[in-house]
Amino acid sequence: MPSNIPFYSLLLVVLLATLALFVSPTHLTPQQEQEHQNQKQKNSGFRVKLKQVDSGKNLTQFERIQDGIKRGQHRLQKITNRSSYHDLRAISSPVSPRDVSIFSIEFSIGTPRKTQSVLLDTGSDLLWIQCEPCINCYKQNNPIFYPNQSLSFINLSSSSELCKALPELVPTDEGCEYYYKYLKGSYTSGIMARENFTFGDVIVPNIGFGCGVDNEGRGFSPGSGIVGLGRGLLSLVSQLKETKFAYCLPSFDDPNNSGTLWIGSLERILIGELKTTPLIGNWFEPSHYYISLRGISIGGTKINIEKSIALKDDGTGGIFIDSGTPVTHLEENAYGLVRDEFIKKFKLSEDKSGLYVFDLCFNFPNEGLVKVEVPELIFHFHGADLYLPTKNYMIEDKKNRVMCLGIFPSKDLSMFGALQQQNVLVIHDLKEETLSFLPTECDQL
């Protein structure tokens, strides 16, 4: 076993072997694996509701975003640190979720069906939930899944395609055991299996997932696990062989606002003219959805930041879209130009109290933000200009009469975050390798 697996790994191996034997005495052979792939519904399109993780908490919008940013700064730091290395095995591991994942979805699993709520992550691939019998499970809202109580649970073999796609495989003769590490001590470990999943009223059979009996990570709770929507073979989108998926993140004004995730057919939701930009591949970070940002306009002044934001040949730099990061982060040189332009355009005094996690804040007059002339912000992606409403980049603290810019600097890597995506339908077309935007009232779809 790899040396970085927790010290009680021997107990884990024994438990996993027992679980594999008790739950399913047979495994899928490579031929059966292919048959199950062929059984997948070609038009298994479905939609599910996106809920804000902080829904139900008594926090203001400013407080919720500020708390999310504190978690998100850890996420960015981890990604940036990882992208500076050239150990491709290390790079293939995902980032830490919820350091941050701020949205969750609900589905049912097994026969009979058991409801689970998992965190959404477009920056990693593996779909996993906690399973009994646990040796190390955190507290979750739903009852933990018992595979021995499901008639449709089947272990994957170590020769299966999904098992071979794991970034770190636990050597064993007992099926496919995995150790999937995030960063800073977070991980999930267990057995890979197939199960029937139900999304809304759509049943999707034989989805490969991790049945985790040893799970450690402060950001996982209260969800049952993670659903990865990245570009790798393990992700839900790749397994369904769907060429399109989309999400619409709700307004952060109310934590009870909900959005929607679609996988598959999108014809019913396409209203209006799409803004489309190409997706860019990064071999060093294969799970992420990179795009090309050519410039940013602030109050009518266009800033050319393409050189600073460009994806480099060694896999560093670039910008990718991420539903789990609360706000956009820009490479520090590009951010500096944006920051300076906002200071020039605003007719307000800069808040230098240092009381806020935000990098740039302004004090506003007694009339409030409504009476303040806020400079317009446009992101110029390759072939797509995205005009953002004020609430998608300026965050108001009414109590302290301060408003802050919802964009942060980063050392190298840039991410287009969730605040900037609120009330924007984001469509991933994996066949055409494009990403499209459509401003929409997400909670009304």
Tally of helices (H runs) and strands (E runs) in the chain: 9, 29
**Residue with more model confidence, 86 or 133:** 133
> 12 falls in which pLDDT band (50, 70, 90)?
low
Q: Residue 365 has what pLDDT?
A: 75
Q: Which residues are CB-contacts of 391 (< 8 A; sequence separation ≥ 6)?
A: 251, 252, 253, 422
% of the chain with per-residue pLDDT over 90: 54
> 86 falls in which pLDDT band (50, 70, 90)?
very low
Tell me whether residue 121 is one of the annotated catalytic residues: yes
Name the β-bridge partners of 50: 259
Of 99, 125, 214, 322, the active-site residue reads: 322
Cβ(434)–Cβ(279) below 8 Å: yes
Q: Cα–Cα distances in Å, from 127 out to 38, 166, 316, 385, 439? A: 20, 12, 26, 33, 29
Question: Do you know the residue count of the chain?
Answer: 445
Three-class DSSP category at 50: strand
Domains 45-76+99-263 and 275-439 share a fold: yes
Q: Which of these, 290, 244, 236, lies nearest to 121 by C-alpha position?
A: 236
Measured in degrees and rounded to the nearest 5, phi and psi for residue 332 equal: -60, -35
> 368 falls in which pLDDT band (50, 70, 90)?
low
Res. 201: pLDDT tops 70: yes
In angstroms, how far apart are the furthest CA atoms of the chain?
71
Instruction: From the options 2.40.70.10, 3.60.20.10, 1.10.10.10, 3.30.1300.10, give the CATH code of 275-439.
Output: 2.40.70.10
411-432 confidence digits (pLDDT tens): 888 999 999 999 999 999 999 9
Cβ(174)–Cβ(4) below 8 Å: no
Q: Residue 88 has what pLDDT?
A: 30
Which of the 8 DSSP states describes residue 96? P
Question: 6-10, 88-92, 193-197, 433-437: lowest mean pLDDT where?
Answer: 88-92
Tell me whether residue 322 is one of the annotated catalytic residues: yes
CATH code, residues 45-76+99-263:
2.40.70.10
**Residue with more model confidence, 349 or 85:** 349
H helices present in 41-136, as ranges: 61-83, 88-91
**Residue labelled with tokens 């594999």:** 20
30-72 confidence digits (pLDDT tens): 454 444 444 444 445 899 999 987 666 666 667 667 666 655 4
**Residue labelled with tokens 């810019």:** 405
**Residue labelled with tokens 């393409």:** 306
Three-class DSSP category at 206: strand
Q: Cα–Cα distances in Å, from 113 out to 131, 151, 199? A: 14, 10, 11
Q: Which residues are CB-contacts of 46 (< 8 A; sequence separation ≥ 6)?
A: 199, 200, 201, 202, 204, 262, 263, 264
Across the range 215-220, mean pLDDT stands at: 83
Of 121, 125, 351, 397, the active-site residue reads: 121
Name the β-bridge partners of 311: 317
Q: How far apart are CA 41 and CA 89, in angstroms?
A: 33
- Cα 33 to chain centroid distance, Å, stands at 28
Q: Which residues are CB-contacts of 340 (< 8 A; sequence separation ≥ 6)?
A: none
Cβ(3)–Cβ(158) below 8 Å: no
Cβ(250)–Cβ(422) below 8 Å: yes
Across the range 196-205, mean pLDDT stands at: 94
Res. 387: pLDDT tops 90: yes
Q: How far apart are CA 45 and CA 243, in angstroms?
A: 10
Q: Residue 52 has what pLDDT?
A: 84
The pTM of the whole model exceeds 0.85: no
Q: Which residues are CB-contacts of 159 (< 8 A; sequence separation ≥ 6)?
A: 29, 30
Q: Residue 37 has what pLDDT?
A: 46
The full set of domain ranges for the chain reads: 45-76+99-263, 275-439
